[in-house]
């Protein structure tokens, strides 16, 4: 018989909670790797949060002109979709 597992101390539990909050585990080539979690604000990625909540003045001040939208136009679309401009195919 092996050694019985011991309970973690309060300090060890706190460290484990901090690590789980800061990092996530992914699989690469069948092996587990620990990587930092992407930054989030209210559960959304930072870029998505900015697109939803920024006003045109703030976008201009921070040189994010590609996200500035006229009021007549539709709401901003996600910057990564579509990955290229959609054009009809001429065959």
pLDDT (tens digit, 9 = 90+) per residue, 13-48?
Answer: 999 999 999 999 999 999 999 999 888 888 888 888
Give the H/E segment covering residue 73. none
Residue 41 inside a domain? The answer is yes
Task: Give the range of the structural domain holding residue 53, as residue numbers without chain letter.
Answer: 10-67
Residue 82 inside a domain? The answer is no
Q: How many CA atoms lie within 13 A of 19 on its CB side?
A: 8
Which of residues 55 and 75 earns the better pLDDT score? Answer: 55
- The dihedral region occupied by 9, where left means phi > 0, alpha psi between -120 and 50, and beta the remainder, is beta
Contact 55, 68 (CB under 8 A): no
Exposed e or buried b per residue across 13-43, where buried means at least 16 C-beta atoms within 10 angstroms of its C-beta: eeeeeeeeeeeeeeeeeeeeeeeeeeeeeee
Q: What does the pLDDT look like over 68-78, one tens digit per residue?
A: 776 656 555 56
Residue 42 inside a domain? The answer is yes
Task: Average the pLDDT over each of 4-8, 22-26, 33-37, 57-61 and give the range with the smallest value.
Answer: 57-61
Count of domains forming the chain: 1
The pLDDT of residue 15: 95
Residue 56 inside a domain? The answer is yes
């Amino acid at each position: 018989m092996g050694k019985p597992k011991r309970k973690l101390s309060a300090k060890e539990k706190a460290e484990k909670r901090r690590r789980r909050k800061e990092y996530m585990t992914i699989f690469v080539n069948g092996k587990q790797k620990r990587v930092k979690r992407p930054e989030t604000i209210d559960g959304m990625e930072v870029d998505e949060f900015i697109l939803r909540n920024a006003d045109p003045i703030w976008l201009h001040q921070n040189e994010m002109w590609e996200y500035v939208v006229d009021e007549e136009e539709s709401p901003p679309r996600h910057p990564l979709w579509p990955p290229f401009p959609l054009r009809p195919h001429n065959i």
